[in-house]
Amino acid sequence: MGAWRGLLAEVVRTRHASLLAYGYLLTSSRADAEDLVQDALVKVFSRVRTLPNAAAADQYVRRAMLTLYLDRRRRDHAWNLVKRIVTTDDGVAGPEDSVTASTDVRASLAALSPRERACVVLRHFDDLSVREIAGRLGLAEGSVKRYLSDGLKRLGVEMTDDGATVTVVAHGREGRN
């Protein structure tokens, strides 16, 4: 068995759950997250490269998940477009998921467009700067700010011009300034 297979086994054993959770943030669907994680693992471990440890592999996989998630939209069917316009994704939180304080965010997150959601997750979960997000997604910084602004507006949050700080204006919560 090659060393890469041993590392793959370690990544699956120690990090699969967190990767699925990250996939859920991106897709708002557990089924989609499972597909995304597996495809990203295949993509990362398909390359003949040296990955020093599971932590490094984890970062590669997360980047691959982001890329795959955005690429996958190219293959969406027109029917899915119709559904996206008038409703949220299938994987929106159901009653069993609605017990935490983040229920509203789950539902709102599911209603974001893929790029809006990717930008929000990278900014507010991965804590990347606007410039870093732009580099990661291959977008102009202005585009990232627009996606962040639109996405946060849907989530009930406003963003300042530099995209670095937010003020919560909904849900009765305070944000950072």
Partner 1 sequence: MGSIDRDLQGIYDSERDATRTPAGLVDVVARRAGRRRGSAIAGTAAAGLAVVGLVASLGVAVARNSEPVTTPDQPIEVNMYVGPTQGWQNEGAMDLVEFCGEAAPQTKPISEYFTLSSNVESLADDLSTDVTFHVDTFAGTSEITGTERSGVLQITSRIDGAGGLMQGWLFVQDGIVVGYVDNVTPGTDPLTGVRTWEDGGSTLLTANTSVAVSCEAGEMADDPFWLVGDAYVYGPSPASILPAGDYEAYPVVRIEASDKTDARRTLAASGISTSLVGPGRLAEPGSWDCQQATEAAGLTPIDCVEGLYDQAWAIATVTVPPEFQSPDIDVTLVGVPLPYSRTGEAVVEEPESQWTTEHTYGMCSHGLVDGFWQTDGLPPSLVSPQGFAVLDPLLANSSLTTSAGILDDPQDDGTLEGIVDFEVLLATDLDDSPRFTFAGSARATINDGGPIILDRYSGPTTVTLTLSDVTWCGDPPPEGTVLSAAITGSAVFAPTGGDPSEVAVVLWIAPNGLPWD
- Cα 106 from Cα 64, distance rounded (Å): 23
Q: Is 59 in the site for partner 1 (CB under 8 A)?
A: no
Q: Is 57 in the site for partner 1 (CB under 8 A)?
A: no
Q: Is 131 in the site for partner 1 (CB under 8 A)?
A: no
155 to 174, contacts with partner 1 by CB under 8 A? Answer: 155, 157, 166, 168, 171, 173-174
- Cα 69 from Cα 147, distance rounded (Å): 16
- DSSP reduced 3-state for 161: coil
Q: What are residue 80's phi and psi, to 5 degrees?
A: -65, -30
Minimum distance of partner 1 from residue 71's CB (angstroms): 6
DSSP state, residue 120: H
Q: Is 109 in the site for partner 1 (CB under 8 A)?
A: yes
Q: Pick between residue 22 and residue 52 the one whose CB is nearest to partner 1.
A: 22
Q: Is 121 in the site for partner 1 (CB under 8 A)?
A: yes
64 to 93, contacts with partner 1 by CB under 8 A? Answer: 70-71, 73-74, 76-88, 90-93
Minimum distance of partner 1 from residue 18's CB (angstroms): 5
Q: Is 55 in the site for partner 1 (CB under 8 A)?
A: no
Rounded to 5°, angle at Cα 47 from 45 and 50: 80
First to last CA, the chain: 52
